[in-house]
Structure 1
Amino acid sequence: MSENINNALIVGASQGIGLGFVRALLQNEKISNIYATYRREASANELIALSHKHPQQLFVLQVDVTDESQIAAAVRQIGTSASKLHLVIYCVGVLHEGQLAPEKSLIQIDSDNLLYYFQVNSIGAVLFAKYLLPLLRHSDRNIFASISAKVGSIGDNRLGGWYGYRASKAALNMLLRTAAIEYSRKCPQTIVVALHPGTTDTRLSLPFQKNVPPEQLFSVEHTVNLLLSVIEGLKIKDSGNFFSWDGTVLPW
């Protein structure tokens, strides 16, 4: 990171990996200011409590990533106190929610559910890339990363199923790859990457953990430390790639 003031934005920080990133960055002396978003106040108690504990360092914003106007407003608000960002991590993702569940067969595909998967898992990330471009257009090395998933790899898909989740993560990867090309011209110091966190012990993975070997189920803290290590080692030439938690490049 730069020796200058380092500002970070964590999108989707109310729980899980996003909240884990906030906790880790609060302990990082290189990070001066952390902006963190949440969707519902009722599920953001821990994040809001942290902001009260660190009022000079952690600033929280309520944002629904399916509403472009809220994304634009949040970025404008960040811009009033920060002229640049050095680290942005998009951690919002949905696999199951209420009646929404990953499809096991074609017969279960529902167009509204597909649209929702794309809104949350794909479109929100690229909209942040759209509005954050001015805050990332500076001479310091900076990162725009989004949590993706290995199941979004078309080349690695051997089991099928999970149509909406797989497709929306594949779309996310393409959107990030395309944004990385534009950023290389407009923000040449920005590294744009997709990150696979492995299977992490969060609410998202909870219904599917029974078949995961214990050594392959990561704690949030472990996942965050692994991903921060990957981020720290990124070079400009890495922009536009899809990295696993261990630093290996995944197939598209």
Structure 2
Amino acid sequence: MTQMDTASPPGQPTPNPGLCVVLGGTGGIGAALVAQLRAQGDAVLALGRQTQPALDYTAESTVAACAQHVAHQLGQTGMLLTRLIVATGFLHGPTPSGQRAEPERSWQHLNADALAHSFAVNAVGPALVMKHFLPLLPRQGRCVAAFLSARVGSIGDNALGGWYGYRASKAALNQLVHTAAIELARRNRDALCVALHPGTVDTGLSQPFAKTGLQVRPPNVAAGELLGVLDGLPPGSSGGFFDHRGMTVAW
């Protein structure tokens, strides 16, 4: 079932009267974000592949259905959608065709099926989220739409090469975020739409590739850092790309 929690600790008011929606909220970082938000007393709605309704980026109808579900919740509770966090991503694993995708070390390893799936999850899916979810954000007042990207998606910061599909699909996501931020500002000048680099987090996505000496942080630590960045974003930062410390990442 859809995971939603609006309860506050006994005797304490809800710090944020708005609703937080986390897409990919049952994954590694997503689940940690949901837990952190709930611990703060926020109302949270988590959606993912295993929730009801389910989110499947390969079927736009499910993205639309999830957005309709959120719209219904907003109408029923009278809350505003103040935080939308997209914590989905694909780096390695099985694809819908049954093949297995891995980060490419060379152009010799490029595979059309793996590339298509990387773009479907890392770029096309979030673009559909923009289409169906961004109109649910309030037309006035501060609200934030955040999309988890990756530093390896930075073109300016790419000194090592490799990882073609992941790099390119996350670079595409960054462009989508920047473009959506421009349109969103026409609806609400106080709305923020940003890309976030969470750093290397101890999840199934990064575990096989965490090098010795690399700073790998537990999901709960990463979630706290990301939420701190979102809360601290100043006016004018919409359309930006930030890391888990709040520092700007090169495009």
Question: In 1, Cα distance between the equivalents of 2:87 and 2:15?
Answer: 26
Match of 2:67 in 1: 75
Question: In 1, Cα distance between the equivalents of 2:89 and 2:83?
Answer: 19
Match of 1:224 in 2: 223
Question: In 2, Cα distance between the equivalents of 1:223 and 1:144?
Answer: 18
Residue deviations 1:194-240 (CA, integer Å, cap 9, x gap): 0001100000011112x2426x1111011011111100001230000
- Seen in structure 2, the aligned counterparts of structure 1 residues 182 and 212 have a Cα distance that, compared at 3 Å, is farther
AA in 1 matched with 2:93: E
Query: What does residue range 56-135 of structure 1 map to in structure 2 within 5 Å?
Result: 61-83=53-75, 84-98=80-94, 99-135=100-136
1:87–1:144 contact (8 Å) kept in structure 2:
yes
1:36–1:61 contact (8 Å) kept in structure 2:
no
1:9–1:34 contact (8 Å) kept in structure 2:
yes
Residue deviations 1:92-124 (CA, integer Å, cap 9, x gap): 001001311111111111112111101101111
Q: In the TM superposition, what is the alpha-carbon distance from 1:40 to its structure 2 partner?
A: 3.5
For structure 1, list consecutive stretches of 5 or more residues without a partner in the other structure: 42-59
Where 1:178 maps in the other structure, the secondary structure is helix
Question: In 2, Cα distance between the equivalents of 1:131 and 1:87?
Answer: 15
Higher fraction of helix: 1
Where 2:140 maps in the other structure, the secondary structure is coil
2:181–2:192 contact (8 Å) kept in structure 1:
yes
Match of 1:166 in 2: 167
Number of aligned residue pairs: 229
1:26 pairs, out of 35, 38, 60, with 38
Question: In 1, Cα distance between the equivalents of 2:212 and 2:55?
Answer: 33
AA in 1 matched with 2:90: V
Match of 1:38 in 2: 48
1:191–1:235 contact (8 Å) kept in structure 2:
no
1:11–1:36 contact (8 Å) kept in structure 2:
yes
Name which of structure 1's ranges 124-133 and 85-94 shifts more when overlaid on structure 2. Answer: 124-133
Question: In 1, Cα distance between the equivalents of 2:50 and 2:138?
Answer: 31
Q: In the TM superposition, what is the alpha-carbon distance from 1:3 to its structure 2 partner?
A: 6.9
Question: In 1, Cα distance between the equivalents of 2:150 and 2:174?
Answer: 9
Residue deviations 1:69-104 (CA, integer Å, cap 9, x gap): 100111011111204310011010010013111111
Q: In the TM superposition, what is the alpha-carbon distance from 1:4 to its structure 2 partner?
A: 6.4
Q: In the TM superposition, what is the alpha-carbon distance from 1:147 to its structure 2 partner?
A: 0.5
Match of 2:199 in 1: 198
Match of 2:246 in 1: 247
Runs of 4+ in structure 1 over 4 Å off: none
Question: In 1, Cα distance between the equivalents of 2:101 and 2:15?
Answer: 45
For structure 2, list consecutive stretches of 5 or more residues without a partner in the other structure: 1-13, 95-99
Match of 1:178 in 2: 179
2:53–2:62 contact (8 Å) kept in structure 1:
no
Match of 2:213 in 1: 213
C-alpha RMSD of matched pairs (Å): 1.6
Question: In 2, Cα distance between the equivalents of 1:196 and 1:118?
Answer: 18
Where 2:20 maps in the other structure, the secondary structure is strand
Question: In 2, Cα distance between the equivalents of 1:108 and 1:176?
Answer: 29
AA in 1 matched with 2:30: G
Question: In 2, Cα distance between the equivalents of 1:212 and 1:26?
Answer: 33
Where 1:238 maps in the other structure, the secondary structure is coil
AA in 1 matched with 2:207: L
TM-score (norm 2): 0.87
